[in-house]
Structure 1
Amino acid sequence: MGGFDLRYGGRSVLVAPAGRRLLSLLVLSRRTLTREYVAEKLWPDAAGTRAAGCLRSALWRLPKLDRPLVIATASTLQLSQDIETDLAATEDILRRAIAWSQPSGRVPPDTPLPDTARADQALSSDLLPQDWDDWVIVERERLHQMRLHALESLARVHRAAGRFGEALDAALRAVAGEPLRESAHRQVIETYLAEGNTGEAIRHFDELRHLLRTELGLEPSPPLCRRMGSAVQAMRTRP
């Protein structure tokens, strides 16, 4: 997350570019891969024999530690089970955060909210931001969407518990991650309404409407418009 880094014994280990791509592919694939598949993914413009040679070279140039980074057979490659990744840890935290606001979530009611500080710090930068292989781009977008859902989930949970400051922080971070995402804006608006700041909710709704009109030529969804209409009407009829 935020760029490739291999650490061993608390220190960074230098890895050649081809080795970085090889390890990244194995991490993101999460399974045993055939040598042919890896060679084709990493060197798509090379002929089969040349790509296979590049793969052998990349394997040979991997750092020589006291334990292997890659388990290689004559036909397959697999990441060593000794390797821990920040990707796996981040995904686990995000999944637990998302589950908190799902009706079917199996989180015990007395379990504390997941600490998303580590995940948020890791995802403050994109996955392998300087890599543009198709297999990286797809995974980068998936993690981006997971983070947005996790932030919206935390906003709902915090709001239900009356923690409006934390709810607003999570919702606004989701908006910052995807400014045209209406569901994130709705969490901001619902939080303002829940804490009695109807004026702030109206202001934010107007900003969203202007943004959608300017960028997409669209209006906010009918459910959100009705929600704001009800809030405005309730404010006008207050004694």
Structure 2
Amino acid sequence: MSGGTVQQAERRRTRTPAQPDQPFRLTLLGGWELQAGGEAVAMSSSGQRLLALLALRGRTQRDYAAGILWPESDDQNALANLRTTLWRVRQRAGGALISTQHEIELAPLVSLDIDGLVAAGRYLLADGSGDSPADCAEIGRDLAGHEPLLPGWYDDWVLTERERLQQLQVHALEVAAERLVQSRHLASALEIAQAATQVEPFRETAHCAVVKVLLQQANPAQAVRHYRRYESLLHRELGIRPSDHLRDLVRPVLASPA
């Protein structure tokens, strides 16, 4: 993820990281769930989408939220749908929303699981964090364990946010793997680099990180096998080849005599 993308994400989400004693817990990673006092709260599909939108976008103009959530309706009907949804959400989760005449947002009483992913990703991307290799590996493993955002949801705004979080996640894992390579903790570096390829199977920089670690571990055969699997994936799914950079990493191994 580029520095500009990180800065954009920071501007869009300014909520304080979640605290364990807050009464509402909104889960978006791996599926939607709202809990109040440890009990699941039933919510309509429109209510789920409203809360998810506010969790991901922060304070939002009412007309903008209505247009995003009901794109096929005219402005008047979309705003009417929004008012109905707001009323229903308040009936089931009073105190979870703050609304004014023009804006709506989640109340500070709502904690978000995505805050943990974002915080860990930004922390690993920060220069000069000074963590020990063991701490770096632990944070990387925790980051790798986060599930995708709202699987099964195909709204355009969800797809955009899912991609943004995945890019943050995989970039931070690549950085963690590189730091572990530099400190010669190659086993942990390989684990974290492989996790990055699971998050984003088509991302070449993640596969480059795996190949580099395997070569530094003096495991050329495994490096070639990993390259071949990635090459096959790209050809089968996208009809393209790995870049010259990745091919150059394994070319000396492929060119060496048996």
TM normalised by structure 1 equals 0.82
Q: Name which structure has the greater RCO, CA cutoff 8 Å, separation 6+.
A: 2
Alpha-carbon distance between aligned partners in 1 of 2:177 and 2:122, rounded to the nearest angstrom: 15
Alpha-carbon distance between aligned partners in 1 of 2:230 and 2:152, rounded to the nearest angstrom: 31
The equivalent residue for 1:168 is 190
CA contact (8 A) 1:186 1:224 kept: yes
Alpha-carbon distance between aligned partners in 1 of 2:189 and 2:232, rounded to the nearest angstrom: 24
* 1:191-223 C-alpha deviation (Å, 9 max, x unpaired): 111111123223333444444455545443333
Deviation at 1:80, TM superposition (A): 0.8
CA RMSD of aligned residues (A): 2.6
Question: Aligned runs of 1:93-132 on 2, under 5 Å?
Answer: 93-99=120-126, 105-109=127-131, 112-113=135-136, 115-123=139-147, 126-132=148-154
Percent identity, aligned pairs only? 32
CA contact (8 A) 2:211 2:249 kept: no
Report which stretch shifted further, 3-12 or 107-116: 107-116
Compared with structure 1, are the counterparts of its residues 122 and 221 closer, same or farther at alpha carbon in structure 2 (3 Å cutoff)? closer
How many residues are paired up? 227
Alpha-carbon distance between aligned partners in 1 of 2:39 and 2:60, rounded to the nearest angstrom: 28
CA contact (8 A) 2:144 2:173 kept: no
Larger Rg, first or second structure (1 or 2):
1
Letter in 1 for 2:56: L
Structure 2 gaps of 5+ residues are 1-28
CA contact (8 A) 1:13 1:63 kept: no
Compared with structure 1, are the counterparts of its residues 7 and 116 closer, same or farther at alpha carbon in structure 2 (3 Å cutoff)? farther
Alpha-carbon distance between aligned partners in 1 of 2:49 and 2:157, rounded to the nearest angstrom: 11
Structure 1 gaps of 5+ residues are 100-104
Alpha-carbon distance between aligned partners in 2 of 1:33 and 1:2, rounded to the nearest angstrom: 24
The equivalent residue for 1:45 is 72
Question: Aligned runs of 1:68-147 on 2, under 5 Å?
Answer: 68-99=95-126, 105-109=127-131, 112-113=135-136, 115-123=139-147, 126-147=148-169
CA contact (8 A) 2:197 2:207 kept: yes
Compared with structure 1, are the counterparts of its residues 214 and 19 closer, same or farther at alpha carbon in structure 2 (3 Å cutoff)? closer
Report which stretch shifted further, 85-94 or 111-120: 111-120
